[in-house]
Amino acid sequence: MLGGSLHHSLHFIIIIPFFNCFLILLVLPPPFLFFSEAEVTAQVMPKSGGKRVVYECWWEIKSSYQFGAKLMIKCFILLILSSFSLSSKEPDVEGEALMEILRTLNDTGGRITDWNDHFVSPCFSWSHVTCRNGNVMSLMLDSNGFSGKLSPSLTKLKFLLSLELQNNNLSGALPDFIGSMVHLQSLNLANNKFSGSIPVNWGHLSNLKHLDLSSNDLAGKIPMQLFSVATFK
C-alpha cells in the first residue's frame, strides 16, 4: 500500500503543473481576446492593409485560442481519469495480503463481506481494519467463526501493531513467522484450538505489551522473554 500511496503522489506531481498552466491561461488570457471588432480595427487598422484583413486575423487567433483552451480542458479531464484508472490497477501489497489472510482464516460463515481486492486500499472502507497514514495498524477479527489457520501474509503488514483473533476456531501450531512481526504491541489468540508449544522466536517480539493465548491446547516451555510482557495470559 505504501507503493500505492507513492503511485498516487507521482500522479499528482504530474497533474499539478499541468493544472497550474491551465489556470494561468484561463485566468490570464491574452487581452486581445476581449476586444470587440471595432476596438481591434481601431488599434490595428493604421498598421494593416484593411479592416477585413484585421478582423479575419483577429477572429482566427481568437478561434484558435478557444479551441486550444477546450482541448486543454479535455486533456486535463482525461489525465485525471487515466490517473485514477492506472492507480486502481496498481498492486496493493497490504490489500492483497489481507485477502490472502481472509482466505486462510476460512470465513465459512461469510461474516466478512466488504473486503474487496478491486478497491485501491483497505484503509478506504474495509471493516475490522484500522489504519494510520495509509498503513494497516490493527486487525480486529475476533468472534467471526473462523476455522482455518494463520497466514504468512500477516508479515506483509509491516506496520501492524494489534492483531485480535480471539474467540474463533483456528487450529494448528502457532507459526514461527509471528516472531518476525517486531512492531506488534498486542496479540490476542485466546479461545481457539491452537496446539503445540510457543515458538522460541516469539521472544523477539520486544514491543509486545499484551499477549493472550489462554484457552488453547498449548504445551511445552514458554520463551523466557515473554515473561517481561506487561499482560501475558
Residue 109, SS3 per DSSP:
coil
**Judgement on whether residues 29 and 141 belong to the same structural domain of the protein:** no
**Judgement on whether residues 73 and 105 belong to the same structural domain of the protein:** no
Helical H runs in the chain? 2-27, 37-44, 51-89, 93-105, 122-125
- Give pLDDT, residue 124: 80
**Judgement on whether residues 154 and 223 belong to the same structural domain of the protein:** yes
**Judgement on whether residues 192 and 117 belong to the same structural domain of the protein:** yes
Number of independent structural domains in the chain: 2
**Judgement on whether residues 76 and 125 belong to the same structural domain of the protein:** no
**Judgement on whether residues 197 and 225 belong to the same structural domain of the protein:** yes
Please tell me the distance from the alpha carbon of residue 75 to that of residue 68, in angstroms, as a whole number. Answer: 10
**Judgement on whether residues 177 and 195 belong to the same structural domain of the protein:** yes
In this prediction, residue 232 has a pLDDT band, given cuts at 50, 70 and 90, of confident
pLDDT tens digits, 100-126: 999 999 998 889 888 887 765 788 888
**Judgement on whether residues 70 and 118 belong to the same structural domain of the protein:** no
Distances (CA, A) of 10 to 62, 130, 131, 148: 35, 25, 22, 39
**Judgement on whether residues 208 and 148 belong to the same structural domain of the protein:** yes
Residue 151: which CATH number?
A: 3.80.10.10
Domain ranges, residue 35: 2-89
**Judgement on whether residues 212 and 107 belong to the same structural domain of the protein:** yes
Question: First CA to last CA across the chain, in angstroms?
Answer: 33
User: Which residues have CB under 8 Å from 181's CB, separation 6+?
Assistant: 154, 155, 157, 160, 205
**Judgement on whether residues 101 and 212 belong to the same structural domain of the protein:** yes
- For the whole prediction, is pTM greater than 0.85? no
Please tell me the distance from the alpha carbon of residue 1 to that of residue 192, in angstroms, as a whole number. Answer: 30
